[in-house]
Amino acid sequence: MKVIKRSGSEVKFDNAKILHAIEGANNSVEEKDRLTEEQINNVVNNVVEKSKKLKRSVNVEEIQDMVEDELMANRFFQVAREYITYRYRHAMVRQSNTTDNQILSLIELDNEEVKQENSNKNPTIVSTQRDYMAGEVSKDISKRFLLPKEVVDAHNQGIIHFHDMDYFAQHIHNCDLVNLEDMLQNGTVISGTLIEKPHTFFTACNIATQIIAQVASSQYGGQTITLAHLAPFVDASRKKIRTEVLGELGNYRRNINFNDVEFNEMVDNIVKQRLLSEIKHGVQTIQYQINTLQTTNGQTPFVSVNMYLNEAKNEQEKADLALIIEEVLKQRIQGIKNPAGQWITPAFPKLLYVLEEDNVKEDGKYFYLTKLSAECTAKRMVPDYISEKKMLEYKIDKNGNGNCYPCMGCRSFLTPYVDENGKPKYYGRFNQGVVTINLIDVALSSKKSETQFFKIFDERLELCHRALQIRHERLTGTISDVAPILWQYGALARLKKGETLDKLLHGGYSTISLGYAGLWETVYYMTGKKLTDPEGEAFGLKVMKTLNEYTARWKASENIDYSLYGTPIESTTYRFAQCLQKRFGIIEGVTDKNYITNSYHVHVTEPIDAFHKLELESKFQKLSPGGAISYVEVPNMKGNIPAVLSVIKYIYENIMYAELNTKSDFCQVCGYDGEIQIVSDEDGKLMWECPNCHNHDQTKMNVARRTCGYIGTQYWNQGRTQEIKERVLHL
């Protein structure tokens, strides 16, 4: 069994330290109030047993709480008082120096929680460490100066989660839909250098990757570009290549007797082959640059690439877009090479494939692309699927028109917006940030009283509202100079130098998100039924509708686009679980896991088939306008592409946004390319193991899993690892 120290470092559990602490408090009281040696040992043993039952590494604060509880429960009040006083004195000392130990533990790679906080960050490299160090300072400043005590206390207790506090000290926002079209067509500026409109597809791809890197270094969330913005440059390259070919063949034609038809056919064939080669190299540039670039926060740019045929402006552009999509899928099927030269699954870019009439039906002109995407999904877990049909049904703007557009990163969706010219606008918009309510804590605090539940719910939501207002206020007054690529040179806007962002924070141009987590456990505790049961479903939908009523009320009152968001809690799923266990103990079916269920999802252990899962979750996804995604867990589907296609077609008809989760692993020691398994060591800690050679060295294996809407490759904390281990198949 392991203990996580306050610095974040993980050490072996030592009973003697608990014993010495109690003995110290015991020796400080009068002899008549002292515990016997047997009583002290009983307290220690009870704390040890409680710690073991958690089936995870326990932190120092939890151990000290257990000691206090044991002393008070056994009416050892004088010793308990001394023990509490001892804790308080040391807490005061720590408050005078709040970050040194955490920062040192980061540098020395001793901080277990931070090492596994983000499955796409490598904590051993110096750029990531710098980001984490700055994050510790930001969190400290935010907690002590920038946030009110009630928000900080609620965050620390796991009642709410104030997301990305490690970036909050700066005037920085969450995620974006990048206006690549504006930047490529009208030019942009990168690091003080003017970048004019490109003349070829390959050059456009190069510029796009530089824009992606610059944007990623100016915000902390995901970003999305669309291939439709690159498609016009295919024809630009085609025309340029044709001119070159005609020049090359001019003398050749005069010397050989070609008729016009034969000559034009030859030119067309040469142009086509050179154009396809340029598309291949352009797409390769995007894939390899994204996976080799590193942002200022020490990770690959968290970027999604949208593939939506109906974004093309004409049939020629649509055909050219199809060529790009086909090449993107082929290259992703191949993968990228790890340091040993073996083909593996990359985490980024995340691919978004929009299902529409032309590509989802077998007689559709572009159905061949959907078959290719199914093959890609079976091997590499991407693309994810967006249903144009359901989006047009859900995303209705003020003109009464349906809209289809991609998410920003893993699942955050903008709400429909119409500009001053009456036209829908998606690209160039962004999200201001997220605060999440822990629904399970609301339920457990209500003690199963529905009246109390909604009373506490109201109080907690107003606390979230205040926290979101603070996020909004932090961005208010920010000048465009803080991130020129975003605010001055087209990624999000074309503001003047010195101009503030304020007009972009109101009126629906940007969103701000109320997140929620743990609906499954909340429903189970309050009703005794699962979300899959009609009674449980009814209560779950009632909770969701209430959440939407609150965001609508806030939006109408403040002209700020509050939106409900199914939070992709990665490391927070573990932290929320720890906080719930600390506050309420172990409750079967509610707090007996080291993770809680993301957003509205059906629990990962629940036996349910893919189609019923998607059908049920579609009802809740519709009520998450600010962002949501559903998934189905599937086995190796490489030999069953028709089954993948059947799920894809079902997604198109029934749910807005969904993905298929399979496995894509590789052991560098023995070459095994099946599923790397999760096992427990002698202390009960979960670790990854190759089933073929039993390799445990994470540096010598490649594991890719989708956890929160995106693929992670840098491993996960113990709570999320348990969740991955316990997933059941839906197909």
pLDDT at 719 over 80: yes
Q: Which residue in this structure is represented by tokens 């090359």?
A: 248
pLDDT at 720: 85
Q: From CA 264, how far away is CA 84, in angstroms rounded? A: 89
pLDDT at 114 over 60: no
* From 565, 595, 631, 650, the catalytic residue: 565
* From 709, 710, 717, 723, the catalytic residue: 709
With a pLDDT cut of 70, the percent of the chain lying above it is 91
pLDDT at 352: 97
State yes or no: is 410 an active-site residue: yes
Q: Using the 8-state DSSP alphabet, how is residue 672 labeled?
A: -
Give the three-class secondary structure for 494: coil
Indicate the domain borders of the chain. 1-96, 176-394
pLDDT at 101 over 90: no
pLDDT at 588: 96
Q: How far is CA 255 from the centre of its chain?
A: 62
Q: Count other C-beta atoms under 10 Å from residue 488's C-beta.
A: 21
pLDDT at 656: 98
- Strand 58-59 relative to strand 2-4: parallel, antiparallel, unpaired? parallel
State yes or no: is 526 an active-site residue: no
State yes or no: is 265 an active-site residue: no
pLDDT at 324: 98
State yes or no: is 565 an active-site residue: yes
pLDDT at 181 over 70: yes
pLDDT at 11: 79
Q: Count other C-beta atoms under 10 Å from residue 586's C-beta.
A: 14
pLDDT at 704: 86
Q: From CA 478, how far away is CA 171, in angstroms rounded? A: 7
pLDDT at 87: 72
**Helix axes of 77-95 and 15-26: crossing angle, nearest 10 degrees:** 110
Contacts of 432 (CB under 8 A, 6+ apart): 173, 174, 471, 472, 475, 505, 510, 511, 512, 513
* From 278, 570, 617, 689, the catalytic residue: 570
Q: Count other C-beta atoms under 10 Å from residue 574's C-beta.
A: 26
Q: From CA 368, how far away is CA 373, in angstroms rounded? A: 9
CATH of the structural domain 176-394, one choice from 3.40.50.720, 3.20.70.20, 3.40.50.300, 1.10.630.10: 3.20.70.20
pLDDT at 176 over 90: yes
Give per-residue pLDDT as tens, 586-620. Answer: 999 999 999 999 999 999 999 999 999 999 999 99
Q: Which of 383, 299, 284, 381 is nearest to 665 (CA)?
A: 381
Partner residues linked to 556 by β-bridges: none
Q: What are phi and psi of 422, to 5 degrees?
A: 80, 15
State yes or no: is 570 an active-site residue: yes
pLDDT at 5: 75
pTM for the whole structure: 0.86
* From 307, 381, 410, 656, the catalytic residue: 410
* From 26, 179, 297, 412, the catalytic residue: 412
Q: Count other C-beta atoms under 10 Å from residue 83's C-beta.
A: 22
State yes or no: is 105 an active-site residue: no
Give per-residue pLDDT as tens, 397-410. Answer: 999 999 999 999 88
pLDDT at 524 over 60: yes
pLDDT at 687: 92
Residue 655 vs residue 136, higher pLDDT: 655
Give per-residue pLDDT as tens, 269-312. Answer: 999 999 999 999 999 999 999 988 876 666 778 899 999 999 99
pLDDT at 149: 95
State yes or no: is 656 an active-site residue: no
Mean pLDDT of the chain: 90
> Under a CB-based contact definition with an 8 Å cutoff, are residues 561 and 553 in contact?
no
* From 26, 359, 387, 431, the catalytic residue: 431
Report the pLDDT averaged over residues 314-334: 97
* From 51, 59, 119, 174, the catalytic residue: 174
pLDDT at 116 over 60: no
Q: How many alpha carbons lie under 13 Å from residue 222 in its C-beta half-sphere?
A: 28
- The one-letter amino acid code at 221 reads G
Q: From CA 166, how far away is CA 174, in angstroms rounded? A: 12
Provide the pLDDT confidence category of residue 340 given band limits of 50, 70 and 90: confident
The torsion region of residue 496 among left (phi > 0), alpha (psi -120 to 50) and beta comes to beta
The torsion region of residue 580 among left (phi > 0), alpha (psi -120 to 50) and beta comes to alpha
State yes or no: is 45 an active-site residue: no
Report the pLDDT averaged over residues 669-684: 88
State yes or no: is 218 an active-site residue: no
Residues in the chain: 731
Q: CA gyration radius for the chain?
A: 28
Give per-residue pLDDT as tens, 53-99. Answer: 887 888 888 888 888 888 888 888 888 888 877 776 666 555 555 55
pLDDT at 258 over 70: no
* From 1, 133, 175, 307, the catalytic residue: 175
Give the three-class secondary structure for 511: strand
Strand blocks (E) in 491-578: 511-517, 561-566
